[in-house]
Amino acid sequence: MAAKKETYSQAIERLEKIVRQIDNNELDIDTLSEKIKDANEIIASCSAKLMKADVEIEKLLEEKWQSE
């Protein structure tokens, strides 16, 4: 069974948790490196989701204007 995709909100929560851990010096150097890699992946994923949403919104707006 395939894992459920992470929502944008879930990804942001995960990113915020990593940032809090970094800000509070809760991570040792080995974990810090791993968490920074995770954070970069989350940021890339969220950026892609935002760009996709932007394209979809633009398309809907264009269709709306053409139908009027």
For residues 15-42, give the mean pLDDT.
96
Q: Is residue 58 part of a domain?
A: yes
Q: Is residue 13 part of a domain?
A: yes
For residue 63, how many other CB atoms are within 10 A of its CB?
9
| 58 pLDDT more than 70 | yes
Q: Is residue 2 part of a domain?
A: no
The pTM of the full predicted model, rounded to 2 decimals, is 0.80
| 57 pLDDT more than 50 | yes
Side-chain half-sphere of 24: how many Cα atoms within 13 Å? 7
What's the total number of domains in the chain? 1
Determine the Cα–Cα distance for residues 58 and 30; give it in Å rounded to an integer: 43
Taking each continuous run of H as one helix and of E as one strand, the counts in the chain are 2, 0
Determine the Cα–Cα distance for residues 60 and 33; give it in Å rounded to an integer: 41
Q: Is residue 18 part of a domain?
A: yes
Q: Which domain holds residue 29?
A: 8-67
